[in-house]
Amino acid sequence: MIVAKNISKTFKSHSTEVKALVNVTAKVDKGEVVVVLGPSGSGKSTLIRCLNYLNVADEGSIVIDGIDILDPKTDINKVRAEVGMVFQSFNLFPHKTVLENVTLAPMVVRKNSKEEARKKGMALLEKVGILDKADVYPDQLSGGQQQRVAIARALAMEPKVMLFDEPTSALDPEMVGEVLDVMKNLAREGMTMVVVSHEMGFAREVADRVIFMDEGAVVEVGTPEHFFTNPTHERTKLFLSQIL
Amino acid sequence: MGSRSLLNRLKDRNYYYVWIGVFFLLLISIVLSIYYSALQIDYTWRWYRIPQYFAYQEQVEIKSEIDGEVESISKKGKEAVVRVKGLEGTESYAVPASALTVEEGDQIYYGDTLSSYKKWRVGILMQGLWLTLKVSIIAIVFGIFIGLFTGIARISSNPALKWSAITYIEMIRGSPLLVQIFIWYFVLGTLLNNLLANNGIAQIPPLWFGVAALACFTGAYVAEMVRAGIQSIHRGQTEAARSLGMTYVKSMQHIILPQALRRILPPLAGQFISLIKDSSLLGIIAIRELTKATREVVTTSLQPFELWFVCALLYLVLTFSLSMLLQHLERRQLVV
């Protein structure tokens, strides 16, 4: 589904250069849930943003569902329509109601009729357990509710892959569970997912594979059992000892 | 304790009313001092002369253009048609039935009055007010469009767009509006109208050069507000919209601009109020808006004090209504 080969990304400002990704290669198969772990600044967010072309990789190739997204001839909007993204800070549209947030893209991008989009939107809001808030504005919702709406908004495009960029990092602890539950359900339904997260429990329970990154490079890739019980690399062991 | 705080509150409230009194005293004393000073220079206030510049009754007389006899008068409701038969032919005149001054069979001569009546006409100040309103509204509408596109071009990464926008904004903001109006009318207007005349096309009236000057002037300021508004919207909004597959244009249209415009509504209101007042400069290129109209009336009526006060008041009516309208919009959006 996703094949990223040897991608590198350097952020340049006036005086400094930050190598966010160095020669990263990663693969996500259809129906697989991949959790990307690593200390902050390790490049995991940059990696997931590169997959959606929000950051543009300097080198390497990224192929999503057979389409090379770094090819200048590719219509990135078409690719993005198939790739759902959930952000750390939700980024709901504050001037639209919850339902409008969910129905806007299907209407504008997919040209769905209003009725069609509405029906699908209501079904998705029910799925993420927030149907009763369909007509309120995002600022009246808790963080957990907002993030669930954001997930519904991404799902409304019926994406083939869902990318989650630290979806629970901005939430109050008691709201993390409700968002993770929605994500677990999604995984159970067979959605292909790439999740950047600090939620070790989620990784252990749901992930098919874990990618551990440090300083812009992939350090270790493996199943959750391998990763949490028997890691190969010293860096991974150190990381686990710090957080567990 | 309770009674003491009650006393305090009473005192506070009394103070409040005292200061309200001071305000009105101040107002009255300014009015009186102007009135008193005017008396000192023997100025005679003639407020009764003012209403005629808003609306007046015009005497209309319909006169026969031939010698002859009134052959027939046929009434149809409020209209009457007078047919006059002369040696060289017959003429008909349509007049109000109630204002007839001739009867069937009357002998009449060239220039005789067939009908005489009064008709309400719009006064010159009202005409000026209407023109000011019209010019301002057109300029505001165009100014919004110019500002919107220039504002977006201003933050484009394309140097042709970006630099054009910057040049336009800096040039407009860096020169007096009066000079710009002169350039629009005397330079661009002359060039354009000559070009049109050479090709046998009708001339553009000064009004449109005035509107263009005001619209371009306002557009530059609106552009900077639009730019600031767009940049004030968090980057995550664009990212969320684009990640859903929306194009740049769609994300601007549905996500960024609606939020940005909401934010810049208050400064926009101020800009549009300025524009209404700035339209008073258009009098210099022979557009008879409110200020020019007032000046003309002053030269004929010799009542400058009343007229300039009335003129200021009329501007206040326009600007205050606009400000109320935009405040209403703002409040409505806050609820929604």
Per residue in B294-328, pLDDT (tens digit) is 999 999 988 999 999 999 999 999 999 999 999 88
CB contact under 8 A, A105 and B247: no
Nearest to B239 among A54, A104, A157 (CB): A54
Kind plus residue range of the DSSP H or E element containing A224: helix A224-229
Question: What is the pLDDT, as a whole number, of residue B335?
Answer: 46
Distance CA B170, CA B164 (A): 10
- Separation of alpha carbons A149 and A131, rounded Å: 10
Chain A positions with Cβ closer than 8 Å to B:
52, 54, 77-78, 80-85, 87, 89, 91-95, 104-105, 108-109, 150, 153-154, 157
Partners of residue A80 in chain B, C-beta under 8 Å: 242-245
Give the confidence band of B336 by pLDDT, cuts at 50, 70, 90. Answer: very low
Beta bridge partners of A3: A27, A63
- Restricting to B residues 262-281, those with a Cβ less than 8 Å away from any Cβ of A are 262
Contact criterion met (CB < 8 Å) for A80 and B242: yes
Which chain A residues are within 8 Å of B335, Cβ to Cβ?
none
Please give the pLDDT value at position B77: 80
Residues of B in contact with A157 (CB under 8 A): 244-245
User: Which position has the token pair 């047919």?
Assistant: B83
The full DSSP string for B187-230 is IIHHHHHHHHHHTT-PPPPHHHHHHHHHHHHHHHHHHHHHHHHH
For A91, other C-beta atoms within 10 Å of its C-beta total 24
For residue A109, what is the DSSP state? T
Range of weakest confidence among A128-132, A225-229, B9-13, B70-74: B9-13
Compare B87 and B244 and report the one with higher pLDDT: B244
Q: In sequence order, what DSSP letters do the residues of A147-191 get, joined into one string?
A: HHHHHHHHHTT--SEEEEESTTTTS-HHHHHHHHHHHHHHHHTT-
Partners of residue B262 in chain A, C-beta under 8 Å: 95
CB contact under 8 A, A87 and B236: yes
Per the document, the length of chain B is 336
- Stretches where chain A sits below pLDDT 50 are none
| DSSP bridge partners of A26 | A4
> Which residues of chain A does B239 touch, with a Cβ-Cβ cutoff of 8 Å?
54, 85, 87, 91
User: How many interface pairs between A and B have CB atoms less than 8 angstroms apart?
Assistant: 59
The whole-angstrom separation of Cα A91 and Cα B167 is 35
DSSP B19-39: HHHHHHHHHHHHHHHHHHHHH
CB contact under 8 A, A93 and B247: no
Q: What is the tens place of the pLDDT at every residue in B261-294?
A: 999 999 999 999 999 999 999 999 999 999 999 9
pLDDT at B91: 82
A154–B250 C-beta distance less than 8 A: no
Mutate to test the interface with A, among B235, B238, B244 (most CBs of A within 10 A): B244
Q: Which two tokens stand for residue A59?
A: 């080198």
Interface check for B248 against chain A (CB to CB < 8 A): the answer is no
Q: DSSP letter for B89, please.
A: -
Chain B residue whose CA is closest to A163: B243
Nearest residue in chain A measured CA to CA from B258: A95
Q: Tell me the C-alpha distance between A50 and A45, whole Å.
A: 8
Minimum distance, in Å, between the CA of residue A226 and any CA atom of chain B: 33
> Residue by residue, what is the 3-state secondary structure of A31-49?
CCEEEEECCCCCCHHHHHH
* Residue A140 in tokens: 């009246």
Instruction: Give CA–CA dist B134/B114, Å, rounded.
Output: 39
pTM, to two decimals: 0.82
Residue B4 binned pLDDT confidence (cut-offs 50, 70, 90): low
User: Does the pLDDT value for residue B334 go beyond 80?
Assistant: no
**Which of B136, B239, B84 is CA-nearest to residue A154?**
B239
Beta partners for residue A37, in sequence order: A212
Give the pLDDT of residue B159. Answer: 97
DSSP β-bridge partners for residue A165: A196
Average pLDDT for B128-138: 96
Distance from CA of B265 to the nearest CA of A (A): 15
- DSSP classification of residue A22: E
pLDDT (0 to 100) of residue B78: 82
Q: Give the separation between CA B157 and CA A79, rounded to whole angstroms.
A: 23
The beta-carbon neighbor of B237 closest among A54, A80, A91 is A91
Residue B220 · residue B173 · CB < 8 Å: yes
* pLDDT tens string B25-50: 999 999 999 999 988 998 888 899 89
CA distance A88 to chain B (A): 10
User: What pLDDT, on the 0 to 100 scale, is given for residue B118?
Assistant: 87
Cα gap A226→B1, rounded to integer Å = 75
Select the residue of A52, A77, A82 nearest B247 (Cβ to Cβ): A77
pLDDT, tens digit (0-9, with 9 covering 90-100), for B160-201: 999 999 999 999 999 999 999 999 999 999 999 999 999 999
Q: Do B244 and A94 touch (CB under 8 A)?
A: no
Q: How far apart (Å, rounded) are the C-alpha atoms in residues A81 and A87?
A: 16
A80-94, A107-121, B4-18, B84-98: least confidently modelled range: B4-18
Q: Which residues of B touch A155 (CB under 8 A)?
A: none
| Per-residue tokens: A153 | 């908004």
When pLDDT is cut at 50, 70 and 90, the band that residue B3 belongs to is low
